[in-house]
Amino acid sequence: MHFIDKILRREEFKSRPPVLVDVGASGEIHKEWRPIARHSVCVAFEADDRELPNVRRRRSGFRELHLVQAIVTDKRDDKAQFYLTKSPFCSSLLEPDAESLREWAFAELFEVERRIELPSVRLGDVLGRLGHSDVDWFKTDSQGIDLRLFEGLGEKIVNRVLVADFEPGIMDAYKGEDKLFSIMVFMNDHRFWMSDMRVCGSQRLSSEVLKHELGRFHARFLPYILKTSPGWAEVSFMNEMRNPNLFTMRDFLLGWVFAVVKRQYGFAYEIASRGWDQSGERVFVEMKHRALARLNAAAFRIPVRYLEKMIMKISSVLQ
């Protein structure tokens, strides 16, 4: 990652470091941010105080870290009602859809333990107070309101975001939630392309049947016993960066870094080519060469990956 460090130490980033926004910041630092964290400003939001100690402990290493304990909404209210569920990772501004969830094995994770009122903020207002007019990488796991938070940034900021990560629902888990299909339409209309998708889910089996008719063994090994159906997805979009009036040399440099971090080496080459066409800076020639080098290096790993897959298939048959 030496060359990435070299780019992010350039003059373009001294006064305008990469700005990473994380809404729902529980758990470990986002793994794709690790190579760029020490050069970046992270603005993280976590409303559930049960997870705050973990966030503070695991979020060191950024150039700047701003941890905001508040609900992020698209409204201008000072307070918002928040549903604390059995699992902190399912807590939301939206009420869980208990009627729809009852048919799914993981329904109890969404059981509401209590409703509380918490301070609420608008993302744009917080960024303004911190002196940031743009977001470079937007990541949210807001349990049902991902799209409305992203839209709430406003067209000017949205069109300049380089990477946006969401975790929208596919099934009905919350009342009035933003779904995957809505995000896909919105991002397509704003000239983003989907670079990654990981589909997650649960088993279509009533939690009551699981608890009273089957038992602990089935509950523990249910993902291996019963087919998992799509419930939500982790999706990532990258800005196509086709409008030369929107993006500066800094943006093309950072877009290349993000593409390499995400192992999208073909897109990295594409961005470097646009940066060269727009600026004529020699650094973009080196960036093109390095993108090609990454592609060539990946080509030599094909036999190893193929062998690993064969071993895994054989092992699964013998189990």
Q: Is the pLDDT of residue 164 over 90?
A: yes
For residue 113, give the DSSP letter: E
Tokens of 181: 């299909």
Which amino acid is it at 19? V
Q: Are 101 and 110 in contact (CB under 8 A)?
A: yes
Q: What is the pLDDT of residue 203?
A: 77
In the chain, beta strands by DSSP E: 19-23, 41-45, 64-68, 71-73, 79-85, 112-122, 137-140, 163-166, 192-202, 229-239
Q: Are 92 and 143 in contact (CB under 8 A)?
A: yes
Buried b (16+ CB within 10 A) or exposed e, 3-24: ebeebbeeebbeebbbbbbbbb
- pLDDT > 70 in the chain, percent: 87
Q: Are 104 and 204 in contact (CB under 8 A)?
A: yes
d(CA 99, CA 219): 21
d(CA 291, CA 268): 6
Q: Are 39 and 17 in contact (CB under 8 A)?
A: yes
Which amino acid is it at 79? K
Determine whether 313 is exposed, middle or buried from the number of CB atoms within 10 Å of its CB (0-12, 13-18, 19+).
exposed
Which amino acid is it at 159? N
Q: What is the pLDDT of residues 221-242, one digit of tens each?
A: 677 777 888 999 999 999 999 9
- Cα 134 to Cα 102, 155, 200, 247: the distances in Å are 41, 11, 31, 12
Q: What is the pLDDT of residue 133?
A: 87
CB neighbours of residue 244 within 10 Å: 11
Q: What is the pLDDT of residues 274-317, one digit of tens each?
A: 999 999 999 999 999 999 998 888 777 666 666 677 677 777 76
Average pLDDT over residues 201-207: 82
Phi, psi for 137 (deg, rounded to 5): -135, 115
Which amino acid is it at 104? W
d(CA 201, CA 227): 10
Q: Is the pLDDT of residue 51 over 90?
A: no
